[in-house]
Structure 1
Amino acid sequence: MLIINNYEDYKSYEGKELGVSSWHLIDQQQINKFADATLDHQWIHTDEERAQKEGPFKSTIAHGYLTLSLIPYLWKQIAEVRNVKMEINYGIENFKFGVAVTVNSEVQLSAKVKTVLNLRGTVKVIIQATLNIKDSAKPAYVGDVIFLYHFND
């Protein structure tokens, strides 16, 4: 795991791949819990029998937003940002979903630092996040995650 202690550490990784998380299995239980939490019970996510018979993927699929919600968990496996007063999930941009994540797929986040800016003491970092699916040539998505950090002096 990468350790980042301050703006200078982050800046040294600008334009570089940081690494990958471990693989994470998305099972039906996680999909169902996400459906309950978001009130999105569309059959393609939750009705295993119907999805197998009528769905284009022949199984249920994870919600796109479920896969996005894994970013903080998987990101913490790639880098530990220390010495911060506050970390803010500031935004996401330019996300494109390429391939559906079918139930019981394993996914892995890869991260690249695109830009690091010091905005009068607030460090703005744009990370290109790619969610890979085990045994798939195409990723589930690619997009930019924006974090704001307030490092201790």
Structure 2
Amino acid sequence: MRLVESFKQGQEKLESINSEIKSRVETTLRSWPETINKKVSDIRNFSLPWTQYFHFFHDSEETIAHESEPVLKLSDKFAALHQRIEADLGVENFVGEWFLVDQACIDQFAQATGDHQWIHTDPVKAENESPFKTTIAHGFLTLSLIPKLTDTVNPEKNDYPEARMLVNYGMNKVVFPAPVRVGKRIRARTRIIAVTPLRKGLELVREVTIEVENSKRPACVAEMLLRLYD
């Protein structure tokens, strides 16, 4: 009799525990949507400072870009130089002397740069296999001759005596429309196509055209960037 009562009490206790567990599980399940929403909200709130940071970074870039815009502090002589250059924009202002591109010149450039491609350095093979029937100058050889062809390496010649310092800042673009066959003469023609005031200086865009004697197409057209500092 006692065994039966003990068993019944144990069964009732087990049912009570199961009922309590069931109740807790149901309560937890009912609260899941709210919990998930809270977690999502927390994540969103946590990410907000990063979003604000990116906006701040973007705004800062714009501010920096705005603050880095040229501030014009040109002297009177540079202001006058600026006006003089602007007045002659697009006008051809230089025609150089003819320069002979011979095989020795091409070979020296090949030796200096390591570019010994046969279309430049092997006259016999070029005559038999090249569509040009002769060797041709490297495109970069033509480009490298610009300082000489434009006479900008002459210390006694200065187109801008107002400038304290001149800096070759680079190029906007360069193309090689036609080859320079060995034995041909080339020369440079130039014009200033743009001028921009800088902080205590000017930036010029100088268009350089390298023409080949008795050829309709130029060997090279380059936009050189030159900076003049007050």
Q: Does 1:89 align with 2:164?
A: no
Q: Which residue in 1 is equivalent to 2:127?
A: 52
SS in 1 for 2:217: coil
Displacement of 1:87: 1.5
Q: TM (normalized to structure 1)?
A: 0.87
- Structure having the higher strand fraction is 1
Deviates more, 1:74-83 or 1:56-65: 74-83
Q: Please give the TM-score of this superposition, normalised by the length of structure 2.
A: 0.59
Taking only aligned residues, the RMSD between alpha carbons, in angstroms, comes to 1.9
Contact 1:6 1:82 in 2 (8 A): no
Which one-letter code corresponds to 2:85 in the other structure? Y
| Larger relative contact order (Cα-Cα within 8 Å, sequence gap ≥ 6) | 1
Q: Can you give the 5+ residue segments of structure 1 that lack an aligned partner in the other structure?
A: none
- Give the aligned residue type for 2:149: L
* Alignment of 1:140 onto 2:224: no
Corresponding position of 2:85: 10
**Structure 2 SS opposite 1:99:** coil
Give me the whole-angstrom Cα distance separating, in 1, the residues matched to 2:189 and 2:158.
Answer: 11
Per-residue deviation, residues 33-78 of structure 1 (Å, max 9, x unmatched): 1011111111111111111111111111000000001111122269
What SS does structure 2 have at the residue aligned with 1:52?
Answer: helix
Give the distance between the partners of 1:89 and 1:72, measured in 2 at CA: 10
Give the secondary-structure state (helix, strand or coil) at the position aligned to 1:137.
Answer: coil
Deviating beyond 6 angstroms after TM superposition, the runs of 4 or more aligned structure 1 residues are: none
Out of 6, 20, 31, the position equivalent to 2:106 is: 31
The answer on whether the counterparts of 2:94 and 2:150 sit within 8 Å (CA) in structure 1 is no
Q: Unaligned 5+ residue runs, structure 2?
A: 1-79
Amino acid of the residue matched to residue 200 of structure 2? G
- In structure 1, what residue type is equivalent to 2:102? D
With over 3 angstroms needed to count, the CA separation of the structure-2 counterparts of 1:6 and 1:73, relative to structure 1, is farther
Aligned equivalents of 1:138 and 1:87: distance in 2? 31
Q: Is 1:43 aligned to residue 122 of structure 2?
A: no
Contact persistence 1:130–1:143 (CA under 8 A)? yes
Equivalent residue, structure 2, for 1:114 = 193
Deviation of 1:86 (Å): 2.0
Q: Name the residue aligned to 2:137.
A: 62
Deviations 1:3-61 (A, max 9, x none): xx944443332221112101111111110010111111111111111111111111110
The percent of aligned pairs where both chains have the same amino acid is: 36
Q: Measure, in 2, the Cα distance between the counterparts of 1:22 and 1:39.
A: 28
